Amino acid sequence: MAQITLPYGQSFLGLEIPDERIEGILVSRAHEYKREDTETALVEKALAEPVESAPLAELSKEKKRIVIISSDHTRPVPSHVTMPVLLKEIRKGNPNADITILVSTGYHRATTKAELQQKYGEKIVEEENIVIHNAFDESSMVKIGILPSGGELIINKIAVEADLLIAEGFIEPHFFAGFSGGRKSVLPGIASKETILANHCAEFIAHEKARTGILAGNPIHEDMIYAARAAKLAFILNVVIDAEKKVIKAFAGHYEEAHKRGCRFVESLAGVRAKPSEIVVTTNGGYPLDQNIYQSVKSMTAAEATCKEGGVIIVASQCADGHGGESFYNTFASAGSVRQIMDDILTRTAEQTVPDQWESQILARILLKHHVIMVTDAPQEMVEKMQMKWAPSVEAAIKLAENILQEKKCKITVIPDGVSVIVYN
């Protein structure tokens, strides 16, 4: 009997499956990677050996206004480790620097003070100047160019007015940008709603290269690279983390070259071969990535890559914040069918993109080929209105899947952390 542990919120769910029913267990090797030093030492080493860049302390000299773009509450970046080292390095080169931490919420809700304290620690929250980006506040934005896609590039004016712009983040597989991190700190991180909508248009989301683990030829990535260059992003610190959200590797330096090196490292650990089966069980990696249904679509794409057409995807995701997007929820709750949703989205131009459309498009793509069952704290009515099924436990979900498939002994593939893998066919 296979004993499997599934991340769920800030805890875990246990799952037992007979060995003969397991088609495969797909796990990122990052979770077993043995880091060479402490988390802080790894970050310090990366800053001491930047990729194609002068050291941060040197870049900071004689710079008055320095802005650090930092990920928000939806990302498990261990900022309590990275931010103190970044601040120390900046002040080593410029003790009198005026530093602002700009929280890159993208299209998400504002980060709360409690979430800031959990992320950075009370000392940084109380002593540093922290500004939370608001993509909907036009008065805080400035236009700096036109994206390759044709959309206007409008970003937070605090970043534009900086004498030195840097960013911290983490690198993991991303379901349409290829990988997270690097250039993503600018777009969508500190971009306006108009710019995000243009970049996340139906045409780009449907593009064959807008998939997990792909950068070359990915139109979404190309827009993001342009945005980082136009914003004059001068330096990044990106980390790679394991299942416990601990730093196992760090990369610093040029916003594109350091990111590429980090992506290659992640790919070497995250790449797994598909094990096609009728039922696929996955999770969104636990807190903070499984805060809502919106974020949980990410893990569904990993399951999609190894689930047989007509099969069942089971997602265990706590979703304490519910659906995570009013437009996202309403798209499914008010539609007659998933086919109708997809057809409607695909008729829209980039200028006609609506909030959360990209998440709706990807979920619709999955639902057109697979059944989805959610094991979640989100209300059953909410899940079912979004045209998925709800189950109180993973065991109950498997029984429900067997009923849907009318097969009691079908094979099962398990992806314990769906956001940490790149599934190759």
pLDDT tens for 303-335 read 999 999 999 999 999 999 999 999 999 999 999
**31 is annotated as an active-site residue:** no
Cβ atoms of 386 and 341 within 8 Å: the answer is: no
- Residues 133 and 123: their CA atoms lie apart, in Å, by 21
Check pLDDT > 90 for residue 31: no
Q: With pLDDT > 90 as the criterion, what percentage of the chain qualifies?
A: 95
List, in order of start, the domains of the chain with CATH numbers. 2-26+274-424 (3.90.226.30), 39-269 (3.40.50.11440)
| Terminal CA-CA length for the chain | 27
pLDDT tens-digit readout, 77-100: 999 999 999 999 999 999 999 999
pLDDT for the residue numbered 32: 87
Q: How confident is the model at residue 76 (pLDDT cuts 50, 70, 90)?
A: confident
Q: What is the pLDDT of residue 28?
A: 93
Instruction: Tell me how crowded residue 20 is: count the other CB atoms within 10 A of its CB.
Output: 9
Q: Would you say residue 268 has pLDDT above 90?
A: yes
Band of residue 412 on the pLDDT scale cut at 50, 70, 90: very high
342-359 tens-digit pLDDT:
999 999 999 999 999 999
CA-based nearest residue to 2, from 412, 410, 417:
412
Matching residue, tokens 């990044």:
236
Q: Are 89 and 47 in contact (CB under 8 A)?
A: yes
At residue 400's C-alpha, the angle toward residues 398 and 403, to 5°, is 110
pLDDT band at 252 (very low <50, low <70, confident <90, very high): very high
Q: What is the mean pLDDT of residues 186-210?
A: 96
Percent above pLDDT 70 for the chain: 100
Task: Using the predicted structure, report yes or no on whether residue 425 has a pLDDT greater than 90.
Answer: no
Backbone angles phi, psi at 374, to 5 degrees: -105, 130
323 annotated active-site: no
Sign of CA pseudo-dihedral 264, 358, 425, 2: positive
Using one digit for the tens of pLDDT, what is the confidence trace for 35-69?
999 999 999 999 999 999 999 999 999 999 999 99
- pLDDT tens for 122-155 read 999 999 999 999 999 999 999 999 999 899 999 9
Spatial distance between the Cα atoms of 185 and 237, rounded to a whole number of angstroms: 11
Using an 8 Å Cβ cutoff, are 423 and 414 in contact? Answer: no
Say if residues 204 and 135 touch (Cβ distance below 8 Å): no
Q: Which of 276-280, 299-303, 392-396, 407-411 has the lowest mean pLDDT?
A: 407-411
- Among 133, 174, 221, 371, the active-site one is 174
Q: CA-CA distance, 298 to 311, in Å (whole number)?
A: 18
pLDDT of residue 240: 97
User: 32 vs 250, which has greater pLDDT?
Assistant: 250
| Mean pLDDT over the full length of the chain | 96
pLDDT at 1 > cutoff 90: no
User: How high is the pLDDT of residue 408?
Assistant: 87
For residues 50 and 34, is the Cβ–Cβ distance under 8 A? no
Q: What is the DSSP letter of 357?
A: H
Phi–psi pair at 356, nearest 5 degrees: 65, 10
Tokens describing residue 241:
């983390």
Among 31, 73, 80, 108, which one carries the catalytic annotation? Answer: 108
